[in-house]
């Protein structure tokens, strides 16, 4: 399957465990990726989009949950995550770039103090 580099990476994973990994190891990222993407595709997408070099990639495939409702069995969608280790000297701060950070930056603190 031919995927464009922009459809390979869906975005960061905003969970507590993922944020602990990112905070503990400054050169690691946890990303939601397309289920058909493989490691070389993920590395190439990161290289072209963010201009970084990748050292290691580990992928996790999460099967969809099985649900039963009125004798009908349905399966949830499959999701895939990638834990990416960047080479030394490279960082990507996805949460502050996309506006998903829960921590206010210094400028917003100054504005709120003056008011």
Average pLDDT over residues 20-43: 91
Question: Of 17-26, 31-40, 98-107, where does the model show the most confidence?
Answer: 31-40
- For the chain, give every domain's residue range: 7-109
CA distance 34 to 2: 12
CA distance 11 to 2: 19
Confidence of residue 79 (pLDDT cuts 50, 70, 90): very high
Maximum separation of any 2 CA atoms in the chain, in Å: 60
Inter-residue contact 79 to 14 (CB < 8 Å): no
CATH architecture assigned to 7-109: 2-Layer Sandwich (3.30)
Confidence of residue 38 (pLDDT cuts 50, 70, 90): very high
Above 60 in pLDDT, residue 70?
yes
Above 70 in pLDDT, residue 98?
no
> Nearest-CA neighbor of 57 among 31, 96, 76?
31
Burial class (CB in 10 A: 0-12, 13-18, 19+), 11: exposed
């Amino acid at each position: 399957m031919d995927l464009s580099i922009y459809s390979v990476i869906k975005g960061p994973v905003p969970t507590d465990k993922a944020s602990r990994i990112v905070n503990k190891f400054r050169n690691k990222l946890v990303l939601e990726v397309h289920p058909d993407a493989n490691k070389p595709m993920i590395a190439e997408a990161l290289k072209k989009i963010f201009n970084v070099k990748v050292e290691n990639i580990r992928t996790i495939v999460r099967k969809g949950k099985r649900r039963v409702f009125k004798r009908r069995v349905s399966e949830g969608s499959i999701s895939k995550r990638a834990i990416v280790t960047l080479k030394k000297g490279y960082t990507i701060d996805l949460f502050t770039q996309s506006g998903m950070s829960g921590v206010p930056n210094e400028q917003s603190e100054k504005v709120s103090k003056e008011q």
